[in-house]
């Protein structure tokens, strides 16, 4: 199976689930593939089944939360992400994803707190720096946003062409402020 062949992956998981429908991870991984294809409702169904089979499966709660963000069910997403964090307080992705739900609700201060916690748990978490920078921009905390944009380039120099213009734009906002 090719990397990124989510349709092929779904077919494989369909067969695996048919052979043994009691393995939560198979539903979680099929849900991940559906989510990648933007079949958020199908993914939510699979994550729900994974959780039914294994109620302490933090990744399934996290993934279902992400799919709920995809269908703009932000409060429900936060509930799932809270549960994921309760089950695994060191799971940086759950903090980042909860931050995304809060960001989408316009709750930028709480989003920054979640992105910061994700970074505290994983100092090389590029997406958390990126997300925090944009939340800081919304809060007009431009100097802090620039620090995060620069950290992105430090962590992944390939991002420089895309992040460089964001830094310049942010510097212009500081000058106008």
Tens-digit pLDDT profile for residues 77-127: 999 999 999 999 999 999 999 999 999 999 999 999 999 999 999 999 999
Number of alpha carbons in the 13 Å side-chain half-sphere of residue 164? 5
158 band by pLDDT with thresholds 50, 70 and 90: very high
Q: Please state, in angstroms and rounded to a whole number, the distance separating the CA atoms of residues 122 and 19.
A: 37
The residue assigned the tokens 């043994």 is 20
Buried b (16+ CB within 10 A) or exposed e, 145-166: bbebbebbbeeeeebeeebeeb
The pLDDT of residue 2 is above 60: no
pLDDT value of residue 25: 97
Apex 99 CA angle, 27 and 4, nearest 5:
40
**What proportion of the chain, given as a percentage, has pLDDT over 70?**
98
pLDDT on residue 3: 67
The pLDDT of residue 151: 96
Packing angle of the helix pair 160-176, 126-138 (nearest 10 deg): 20
Average pLDDT, the chain: 95
pLDDT at 1: 45
| pLDDT bracket for residue 4 (50, 70, 90) | confident
Torsion sign over Cα 154, 140, 113, 40: negative
- Cα-to-chain-centroid distance, residue 108: 16
Pull the structure tokens for residue 79. Answer: 């509930």
Helix 126-138 × helix 92-104 angle, to 10°: 30
Give the chain's domains with CATH numbers: 56-176 (1.25.40.10)
């Amino acid at each position: 199976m090719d990397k990124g062949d989510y349709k092929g992956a779904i077919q494989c998981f369909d067969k695996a689930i048919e052979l043994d429908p009691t393995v939560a991870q198979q539903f979680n991984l099929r849900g991940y593939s559906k989510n990648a294809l933007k079949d958020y409702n199908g993914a939510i169904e699979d994550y729900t089944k994974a959780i039914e089979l294994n109620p302490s499966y933090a990744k399934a709660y996290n993934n279902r939360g992400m799919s709920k963000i995809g269908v703009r069910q932000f409060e429900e997403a936060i509930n799932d992400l809270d549960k994921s964090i309760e089950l695994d307080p060191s799971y940086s992705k759950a903090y980042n994803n909860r931050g995304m739900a809060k960001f989408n609700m316009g709750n930028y201060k709480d989003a920054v707190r979640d992105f910061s916690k994700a970074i505290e748990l994983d100092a090389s978490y590029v997406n958390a720096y990126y997300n925090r920078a944009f939340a800081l921009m919304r809060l007009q905390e431009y100097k802090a946003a620039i620090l995060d944009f620069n950290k992105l380039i430090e962590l992944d120099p390939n991002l420089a062409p895309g992040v460089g213009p964001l830094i310049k734009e942010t510097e212009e906002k500081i000058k106008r402020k």
